[in-house]
Amino acid sequence: MSLVGKKAPHFKASAVVDGKNIVEGFSLDQYVGKKYVVLFFYPKDFTFVCPTELFAFQEKLAEFEARNVAVVACSTDTEQSHWGWLMMNKNDGGIKGVTYPIVADTNKTISYNYDVLTGDWEYNENGELEAAGDLIAYRGLFLIDKEGLVRHQLINDLPLGRNVDEALRMVDALQFFEENGEVCPANWQKGKSGLKDTHEGIAEYLSNN
C-alpha cells in the first residue's frame, strides 16, 4: 500500500520526548499547519542496526530543524523500553543523547496503519489466532508535509539501514518545488536548478546537463 498523496494515518500513543520524559497521547496533529514531519519506524530497541540510524538522525537533527522539520521515531516497543534504552550510554549499547520523540506502538496499530508491520495474524486449525512471524516494524520512512499529506515514503527490509542524507535531500526537493514551482530531476541536490514541467523545460534541462 502506498500512502503517498494521502493523509498520514492518525495516531495517539505514549512517547518519550527530549530523551527522558514519557508523555501520553503524543500525536502528529501538533505539527499540522506548522511543521513538516519525517516519521521513521525501526524494528526493535536494544539491537544493532537501529541505534546507528537513531544516532544518524540525531547528528542531522539541527539540519532538519533548520528546514522546519520535526523528526519522530517509532517502534513496537513500550515507552518504558524506549526510556530504558535512552538512559544507557552509547558505549553500553544505549542511545543516550537522542532527543527527538520516540513513539511506543505497543499495540502495533500504528505500524499496521502505515503498512510497515512485518508478519501477520492467522487462525490455526483449532480456530485460535496466531502470529505468523515477528510483529515488528520494517524500516519505514515517511515525509509528511505541513498539511498532513504523505509526500514520500521508503520502506527497507530489516537488515538494510537508511541514508539520512537522502531523507534531507527529499525534504529539500519538496520545499524547492513548493517555493519555486519547478520539479526536481534525477539526482537533484539543494542549490541546483529544477526544471519546468513542460516538454520545453525538460528539453532545455537535458541540453544543459
Q: Which three cell numbers, joined as nine digits, stand for 201?
A: 523545460
SS3 content of the chain, % helix, strand, coil (to 5): 30, 25, 45
Asked if 74 is an active-site residue, the reply is no
Backbone angles phi, psi at 41, to 5 degrees: -105, 145
Q: Which of 39, 50, 170, 173 is catalytic?
A: 50
CA atoms within 13 A on the CB side of 22: 12
Pure H helices in the chain: 49-59, 61-66, 79-86, 109-113, 164-180, 199-208
Residues acting as catalytic residues: 50
